[in-house]
Amino acid sequence: MIIWINGAFGSGKTQTAYELHRRMKDSFVYDPEKVGFLLREMIPIQASKGDFQDYAPWRECNYSILKYIDEHYDGVVIVPMTIVDADYFNEIIDELRKEGVEVKHAILWADKEIIEKRLRRRGERKNSWAAKQIDRCMEGLSNKTFENRILTNNLAVEKVAESIADLFEITLLPDDRSEVRKRFSRIKTQMKQLRIFS
């Protein structure tokens, strides 16, 4: 099974993905952005695009890798990735479904002001690339192609993960961590993402 966690940049996809991963015995977090970073390094600037999702090889490669993992791994694959173009969604997710891969999809939805606040909390400025994408993301994710919206305005990461688990009838391991340990886990996940983008 693949769980694709969608949403605007700053909606909490990565934190939720790793929270699910911590509470699912056999699970793996797959990051499609890494394919995009590879393409940016390998494609000459004259052939480059502003958004790596616009590269057909990015979509083809992630489809192929996810299909391979599904065929060779018995656990749950968790994919935190913003994808708001319905055609791109179909090229990856619908094609996987046509091949018999079970793909569950959920959108983490929040008010624009909440997303802006979350982006600031992770060090993004008002004019950052992620902040400039909020309207585009919210408009794209309003398309009927994108199912299963979870309103996260007032939900802690743990509750968002539990909402996804409830939606897809997945049993999570109990979470007996203290609030300090939970906060440390979130900071650790955030730092890991900062290293990726540096």
Average pLDDT over residues 8-15: 94
* Dihedral, 64, 16, 114, 167 alpha carbons, nearest 10: 90
In this prediction, residue 121 carries a pLDDT of 86
pLDDT for 170-198, tens place per residue? 999 988 766 767 676 766 666 666 544 43
pLDDT classification of 111: cutoffs 50, 70, 90: very high
CATH architecture of structural domain 2-197:
3-Layer(aba) Sandwich (3.40)
Percent of the chain scoring above 70 in pLDDT: 90
In this prediction, residue 180 carries a pLDDT of 67
Q: Cite the beta strand spans of the chain per DSSP E.
A: 2-7, 27-29, 76-80, 103-109, 149-151
Checking if the pLDDT of 7 tops 60, the result is: yes
15 in Cβ contact with 186 (< 8 Å): yes
Give dist(CA 60, CA 198) in Å, integer: 26
What integer best gives the mean pLDDT of the chain?
Answer: 92
Checking if the pLDDT of 3 tops 70, the result is: yes
Average pLDDT over residues 149-160: 95
In this prediction, residue 195 carries a pLDDT of 42
pLDDT for 77-101, tens place per residue? 999 999 999 999 999 999 999 999 9
Give dist(CA 95, CA 97) in Å, integer: 5
In this prediction, residue 81 carries a pLDDT of 98
Percent of the chain scoring above 90 in pLDDT: 83
pLDDT for 126-139, tens place per residue? 889 999 999 999 99
187 in Cβ contact with 193 (< 8 Å): no
